[in-house]
Amino acid sequence: MYRSIADAVIQNNRRFPGKIAAADRENRYTYEELKRAAFQTAAWLKEAGLRPEEPILAECTQDTDFVILDLACGILGAVFVPVEKKAAPERVSQMAQTVGAGWIIGKTPYSSIGKFYDLSRIREESSRFSGEETGWELRERPAAEILFTTGTTGQPKGIVISDAANLAVSENISGGVRMTPDTVELIPLPLSHSHGLRSCRADLFAGGAAILMDGVMNIGLFFKLMEEYQVNALDISPTIAKLLLKIARKGLAHHAASLDYIEIGTAVLEDDTKEQLKTLFPRTRLYNFYGSTEAGRSCVLDFNEFDDTGCIGYPSRNASFFVVDDEGRKIESSKENPGLLAVSGRMMMNGYFGSEELTKATLKDGVLYTSDLGYIDEAGRIYVLGRKDDVINYKGIKIAPEEIEQPASKYPGVKDCCCVPVEDAVCGQVPKLYVLPASADQFDKKAFLEYLKKNLEPGRMPASVELIDQIPRSSNGKLQRKKLRER
């Protein structure tokens, strides 16, 4: 259908040129204007000496300029490499050296790293070009972009994605949330990370509109953009969801009737946040996505329609799941017989840049073998019990830590908690629960244990409970169980 996201914008321009395609707090572009700006920027890049298949580092400016630069790379055939906003020069230099990039474009001066061009200057100077399609031949790129992980679980890895994979991811998202050309989605998530960037591309793929914002700390601007563009969809993280529920509940309630859907990703969505969203948005489709940078948005759940502990929903349009044992052999899985999830589909990465060994260890014959223990139920829904190393093997029974954490976190005196497996000579492993109390002085451990006994099956009762002054989490809110296991 399309050769790239840039091609999708070109085709959507022919369908509805005057329709809003992208906007931020200062600028707005119709499809016709967005297409023209992308071709103008591509012409500027070409004149400046950027060659097809050459990588460029692009600092995330979290605005329409960044989107235009992404599209321009697609037109020219260059490889787009997003960089976090105001990233440390050391990280930028490492990324440039890894992929062999001699260009960096953004608004933070990284002149010591390579050819640096200010994105605002490019926008001004590119206006002298016509912006016409004539003379350009769009081709599908085997390597359209390289997305770097944040490095929270080790060294950052460059993940190579093709145009075909990006289109498949856009189909997964747009089909999963039922986007239409009438969709107007507000995206306050960073476009330098795969989740926000892919949501923006999916909007353009579907002929909708992407409204960009840099976080939600400016609540006045958040609701101003919602009103100005008649926003009917949101793309947020669990952290943003919790913040909005805390400081802007009335404002959200005011817009509840006009929101078709809210999509949430980047980290695990806690039960308490889920329940608050379901209460506030009873008629809104509430989507939680499962996936990775390597495998796109491969599974989606509307938890306002169906919700069950551990369920991540149905496979996305281009994704297929199966379950394997520890040796990688397919098995018939169930709640009583879980295994490791494996996923395949057109949205899959090419591999890790410059690391054939790591690619072969992760991706085999187009299948990504995960470390997530789970199963597929009779209805075709996918369940995740947790990471293989996190799941508690109690007398041969697999216990997901969330099965203990979720009821524990609802106890009034618990601010946060985390459950990990501990080796046991008799049972194999037993659950240990770390608790961050709201007030250590007032926390009644005996009463808490009585509460757990009433709300947990006997085999899931923690063997021990330890109070702790901090539960380790990553920057996007994910529990770092490994640190507590090592403790």
| Greatest Cα pair distance in the chain | 76
Q: What share of the chain is helix, strand, coil (3-state, %, to 5)?
A: 35, 30, 40
Cα distances from 353 to residues 151, 230, 254, 258, in angstroms, run 15, 41, 46, 43
Q: What are phi and psi of 187, to 5 degrees?
A: -120, 100
Cα distances from 15 to residues 11, 181, 207, 208, 484, in angstroms, run 7, 10, 9, 12, 54
DSSP 273-335: HHHHHHHH-TTSEEEEEEEETTTEEEEEEETTT---TTEEEEE-TTEEEEEE-TTS-B----S
DSSP 258-276: G-SEEEE-SSPPPHHHHHH
Q: How many CB atoms lie within 10 A of CB 223?
A: 17
Q: Residue 366 corresponds to which amino acid?
A: G
- The pLDDT > 70 percentage for the chain reads 98
- Of 51, 41, 47, nearest to 71 by C-alpha is 41
Contacts (Cβ under 8 Å, ≥6 apart) of 470: 436
SS3 143: coil
**pLDDT at res. 482:** 86
| CA-only gyration radius of the chain, Å | 23
What band does 474 get if pLDDT is binned at 50, 70 and 90?
A: confident
Strand partners, 330: 324
Residue pair 30/23 in contact by the 8 Å Cβ criterion: no
Region 115-144: mean pLDDT is 94
Pairing relationship of beta strands 392-394 and 397-399 according to DSSP bridges: antiparallel
Each residue's pLDDT tens digit, 222-276: 999 999 999 999 999 998 999 999 999 999 999 999 999 999 987 778 788 899 9
What band does 152 get if pLDDT is binned at 50, 70 and 90?
A: very low
What band does 187 get if pLDDT is binned at 50, 70 and 90?
A: very high
The answer to whether domain 5-382 and domain 391-486 are alike in fold is no
CATH architecture of structural domain 5-382: 3-Layer(aba) Sandwich (3.40)
Query: Which CATH number applies to 391-486: 3.40.190.10, 3.90.1150.10, 3.30.300.30, 3.40.50.1360?
Result: 3.30.300.30
More confident residue, 480 or 11: 11
Match 């998530």 to its residue by tokens: 189
Which of 44-48, 272-276, 299-303, 450-454 shows the lowest per-residue confidence on average (mean pLDDT)? 272-276
Domain ranges of the chain: 5-382, 391-486
Residue pair 106/36 in contact by the 8 Å Cβ criterion: no
- pLDDT above 80: residue 477: no
Between helix 5-15 and helix 163-177 the angle, nearest 10°, is 50
SS3 256: helix
Contacts (Cβ under 8 Å, ≥6 apart) of 98: 158, 353, 354
Alpha carbon distance 342, 340 (integer Å): 7
Residue pair 286/304 in contact by the 8 Å Cβ criterion: yes
Alpha carbon distance 481, 465 (integer Å): 15
Alpha carbon distance 190, 196 (integer Å): 6
Alpha carbon distance 6, 195 (integer Å): 18
Alpha carbon distance 51, 324 (integer Å): 44
**pLDDT at res. 150:** 61
What's the half-sphere exposure (Cβ side, CA atoms, 13 Å) at 457? 7
- pLDDT above 50: residue 153: no
Each residue's pLDDT tens digit, 296-327: 999 999 999 999 888 999 999 999 999 999 88
**pLDDT at res. 485:** 87
Q: What is the pLDDT of the chain when averaged over all its residues?
A: 93
Element (H, E) at 4: none
